[in-house]
A and B are shown apart, each in its own frame.
Chain A
Amino acid sequence: MDSLARVHFPATLSEAAAILRARPGARLIAGGTDLLVKHRNGLLPEVTDFIDVTGLGLHEIVLADGQVRIGSGCTMTAVAGHPLVRERFPALVQGAMQVGAFQIRNAATLGGNVGNASPAGDSIPPLVSLDAVALLFGPDGRRTVPLAEFFTGPGKTVLQPGELIEAFLLPDRRTAGAFLKLGERRAHAISKVSLAFSCWESAPGRREVRIALGAVAPTVIRCRKAEELLSAAPWPPPAELVDKARALVVEAARPIDDLRSQKEYRRRMTGVLFQRALEQVRA
């Protein structure tokens, strides 16, 4: 039943990338909270090797060159507790704190949440709302991909054979924001629908706005029309603009019926979450 034959412990990114490219049955493992559940349920029959990435020094959070750089190996607990993150990115703090429970957050990494590429991954809408860029390391060197363009479908990404996520780069700015999710219960539940809202001052009395939705499309999506409307308006936006933006947010959602929830519920709740997020940010 167990096809797993080896665990590799590379000491460098190049070594990890080389193993990953050479062995088609190899998967990266960080916290293991997604991968081990799948493996132990027999959902990964093709997997022969794990590559442990926790020895690659990917758990730093630093400020450099106008960017906050968050290593892909940072746990949700570490991300939500770090002063560089807490002072700048409330949506990300709230997103990381709503992943699972303490036991999960102490193991679950940002790189694993993004690498798993679930449209319901709770760190993803916040990262997208903060204009995060993924720094990728592969056999041919490094490249960067905006996180909004990183996902191509549920569980699918632009990662090429041998490539892994090294870090996330977030523009260094103070933002206001919120992350709200609805699940089966308030804590420790997968999102049926989620929304991240982030904004920052672009000119006196104006704010650049980002809105990202989780679990209502094959990938996390941005609501560009609503973002443009609110970014062009004075801040705080007048009531009739909020109504318009809310309609645009609901329009952007393309939810499905699945075992966790229904299409119509998800669509309507998207609007509710938008309203709540805006109220939280304005308060």
Chain B
Amino acid sequence: MPTQELIPIRFALNGRTVEARVPPGMTLLELVRREFRLTAAKEGCGKGECGACTVLLNDQPINSCLKLAASLRPTDRVVTLEGLADDPLMVTIQKAYVAEGAVQCGFCIPGMVMSSYHLLRTHPQPSAAQIKEFHSGNLCRCTGYAKIEKAVAKAAAAAATSGQPAGGPAPEPRKETR
């Protein structure tokens, strides 16, 4: 095996600038889980199919299992579910999932709620079709999706009545200490 160089990187993780030295083939998912101990994002498939590894990169959801850690730049902002733990919209979403019984084994949920969050940020009053569309990159083997869809609709309604800021850019995420 040829010697692998370690590549120095710097980027914003959950609102805080972090640095690491990563092997060439390491993914963002491996980086956040192993180096930063942020274990909300899961490896379900490692192939971009299941969405359990969903994180936000510059406000857009991506599969962290298919993002080369080495390619992160100082201007990149990565937000994992941990970074949204105090975010009012995320808390509303989580409460709605619990209220609707939308969580069974739970493995898909950290990725699922990231997609819910992206949906409600960009479409505060989503249609049923939009709810399905925005979660099409997240597979759930347990719930059959119906309760998840209900939970997202409920979260949208709850966010609207509580006057939560929806739409527009994501707020500055919580500062993460390592």
Contacts and interface: CB of A to CB of B under 8 A. Distances in A.
A48 B3 CA distance: 10
A272 interface: no
A188 to B, nearest CB: 5
Nearest to A54: B71
B83 interface: no
A57 to B, nearest CB: 13
Interface stretch (B55-63, B101-109, B155-163, B169-177): B55-63
A102 B66 contact: no
A107 B60 CA distance: 9
A259 interface: no
Contacts of B49: 188
Nearest to A40: B46
Given A102-B61, A103-B137, A107-B63, A36 B2 contact: no
A187 B51 contact: no
Contacts of A6: 4-5, 24
B40 to A, nearest CB: 15
Contact of B4 (A5, A39, A100): A5
B38 interface: no
Nearest to B119: A102
A52 B7 CA distance: 13
A5 B3 contact: yes
A233 B30 CA distance: 58
A7 interface: yes
Interface in B50-105: 51, 54, 57, 60-63, 66-68, 70-71, 73
A2 interface: yes
A264 to B, nearest CB: 28
Contact of A101 (B23, B24, B73, B136): B136
A2 B137 contact: no
Given A6-B5, A103-B137, A39 B70 contact: no
Given A36-B68, A52-B71, A187-B133, A5 B24 contact: yes
Q: Quick one: which of A31, A39, A55, A102 has the most chain B CB within 10 A? A: A102
A7 B62 contact: no
Interface in B5-35: 5, 7, 23-25, 27
Nearest to B137: A101
A4 interface: yes
Given A5-B24, A50-B24, A104-B48, A188 B137 contact: yes
A200 to B, nearest CB: 30
A32 B71 CA distance: 10
Contact of B118 (A37, A40, A102, A104): A102
Given A32-B67, A187-B132, 12 more contacts: A2-B23, A36-B66, A40-B47, A52-B71, A100-B137, A101-B136, A102-B136, A103-B61, A104-B63, A104-B137, A107-B67, A187-B133
Interface of B: 1-5, 7, 23-25, 27, 46-49, 51, 54, 57, 60-63, 66-68, 70-71, 73, 115, 118, 132-134, 136-138
5 contacts: A5-B3, A7-B68, A36-B27, A39-B25, A187-B136
Interface of A: 2-7, 9, 29, 31-33, 36-37, 39-41, 48, 50, 52, 54-55, 77, 100-104, 106-107, 187-188
